[in-house]
Structure 1
């Protein structure tokens, strides 16, 4: 009879699933030489990222302003790490960091329906911005830990309770989130990971808020403020539900990115999400906890324009959302799926998993979406106004 006990059955299924995830993690680490490393960049890409010609970079290496790049036995350059690229930005004065007059960008990637590509958008946006030279912190607020997983960790094997938001949320005497911030294999990108203990935080917060402690919804905002001086952008990946952690993320955010696949069910769900969001923002405002957004954008995700119904829905979404919808569509890509299966992002891949054409298409969609978001961030920074005018954005 014990084998039929649903509690024991579920426990065994959980343990087996965790073993599989551990094997996937170990396989990925073995392929990366145990320590995950970001790909290197060729000098043509480095020139674009740094904003200087390849000749200028080589000249700086010759005169000692930059260290010479590592070479193979045959004398071929092995490429530059992101840390080396960021050092170049320091030397050439092309770091895109915000100044003290610019507000920290806190972006919640939010939808109350699962499977819309929320974590895919979060992780690729975080890595893209790090590649561009920004200081980024990705805060995984979801107990499922999808963003944490895509950065190479298995939440309940590699991440303990004290590594997450949980201690800070439950202990009002803690004054800083710095304890949970960890570096990643991307220079300039940091992570506050998640695991299942955040699920408990939902209930604890709800119970305490019910006892008229509504200001607890400010805890995440307070935590972000405690580390704000070290970052240009903070990206929040909240749970796909309207719970206390999602409300805390809304309070902390000053920008909102809403992923929506072009399907009838996802559009219907997002319509409900917008209705709940509107009502919730009103209630928070009445309680003296307003949500202050500098911008809000919808991004179409997991789109397959080979399907006529999806094409029609995309056109409808453009008509409905107008300027609040990003121009670039994040299309369904086998390369994104293949990277995720390896607990990676597309930016992590050293080479295509499928074909170069599929890889380049996936990269083009991701770069297009992320570049639009980067521009929205820069538009909120007074120090970038001159450069945005020179680029023809303003």
Structure 2
């Protein structure tokens, strides 16, 4: 006997079925988010202990305690057990205070770019799924913000995974014309980029979120080129660069999570970028896919340069992700990449760890995780991610002449 539900399903077209399942999943994801972040259904950043703050600032914990007793700079809250806890906003206030108090160490306490330092636009790219592109982007954003830098994260991926990591579910929280598409579109509905930038719960990080409307740019650009948008700043590969230049004074670093394909958005990201990170999982099938990505990218870059585009990156680095150093085939792949690309492969690699997977289940980075994994597991994972981010930041500071 055929049930009513079976009759409905038989009558559905594939499009109708997929749409219905998408709506069911979206509703469930929203429900899960509300349970995770009750009662406001919004993410919030953890606080930091005195020991953590002292380590971040590079000062003795006793010095920090004395500053608190003297009412110097930010005054922390106290837990029931009397321990002092600081928000990241308060940590940044202390950074600014110490930078003014000790001008010779100002760059140590507050390593933001100074007058004359070039804004760093770092694009994270690859079109192979599973390369940890978004995870790399969010961990780098959090690492830099914890160190006092002002970061703008731009989600260029219509799948909006980066937006979700910052607590924005694209179907519910990002309306029409609220992505970067609004600032680079070709018609009279174009908006200022200032109108689509959102503050996040993570002090020091702003976000331009994504949703499926970004695909419109891929569809419209060929028609726009045919209609004459093919010169100067109006050409497709300069539009994102023009948008970023409008907010250059507000940030130290812009991170761009590029789409997993070589479309017009990705080419715009490559042209806007001052640096490029290519994520790679060390398996032969992933390396073969990356090779195709590199071949296609070089061909398209050549086309852009013939059209007057300038592609010059301060550094290009390959980031080894999800690496298991006890896996022989993976070790062989990493050895191959290092022998071919030399110093262009970051020396540290992101280890494959259950900690990152556990954090991902809650749409968190390791820097936000306080439960769910063992302390030792979390410490080893953080050491791995910190090493990678520290080297990337080292390259950025080299560009700034430090």
Check whether TM > 0.5. yes
* More displaced 10-residue stretch of structure 1: 287-296 or 356-365: 356-365
Question: Which of 78, 83, 88 does residue 89 from structure 2 map onto?
Answer: 83
Contact 1:28 1:343 (C-alpha < 8 Å) held by counterparts: no
Contact 1:24 1:342 (C-alpha < 8 Å) held by counterparts: no
1:138-182 per-position Cα deviation (integer Å, ceiling 9, x unaligned): 000000000001111211111112221121121466573111111
Report the counterpart of residue 212 of structure 2 in structure 1: 196
Contact 1:175 1:223 (C-alpha < 8 Å) held by counterparts: no
Question: Which of 262, 272, 275 does residue 295 from structure 2 map onto?
Answer: 275
- Separation of aligned partners in 1, 2:15 and 2:203: 43
Report the counterpart of residue 374 of structure 1 in structure 2: 393
- Tell me by how many angstroms 1:67 deviates: 3.7
- Separation of aligned partners in 1, 2:267 and 2:80: 56
Matched, 1:56 2:63: yes
1:317-375 per-position Cα deviation (integer Å, ceiling 9, x unaligned): 11112100001111111111111111222211123x12222211211111111101111
Which secondary structure state, in structure 1, belongs to the residue aligned with residue 334 of structure 2? helix
Contact 2:33 2:41 (C-alpha < 8 Å) held by counterparts: no
Question: Which of 18, 27, 32 does residue 19 from structure 1 map onto?
Answer: 27
- Tell me by how many angstroms 1:302 deviates: 1.4
Report the counterpart of residue 389 of structure 1 in structure 2: none
- Separation of aligned partners in 1, 2:277 and 2:390: 14
Contact 2:236 2:264 (C-alpha < 8 Å) held by counterparts: no
- Correspondence list, 1:318-357, <5 A: 318-351=338-371, 353-357=372-376
- Correspondence list, 1:199-278, <5 A: 199-211=215-227, 213-214=229-230, 215-278=235-298
Contact 2:42 2:167 (C-alpha < 8 Å) held by counterparts: no
Which secondary structure state, in structure 2, belongs to the residue aligned with residue 346 of structure 1? coil
Report the counterpart of residue 185 of structure 2 in structure 1: 170
Q: Which runs of 5+ in 1 are unaligned?
A: 386-394
> For the structure 1 residues 74 and 48, does the alpha-carbon distance in structure 2 shift closer, same or farther, using more than 3 Å as the test?
closer
Matched, 1:127 2:134: no
> For the structure 1 residues 24 and 295, does the alpha-carbon distance in structure 2 shift closer, same or farther, using more than 3 Å as the test?
same
* More displaced 10-residue stretch of structure 1: 247-256 or 2-11: 2-11
Contact 1:135 1:233 (C-alpha < 8 Å) held by counterparts: yes
1:77-110 per-position Cα deviation (integer Å, ceiling 9, x unaligned): 2x21110000001110121110120000000001
> For the structure 1 residues 99 and 19, does the alpha-carbon distance in structure 2 shift closer, same or farther, using more than 3 Å as the test?
same
What is the root-mean-square deviation in Å for CA atoms of aligned residues? 1.7
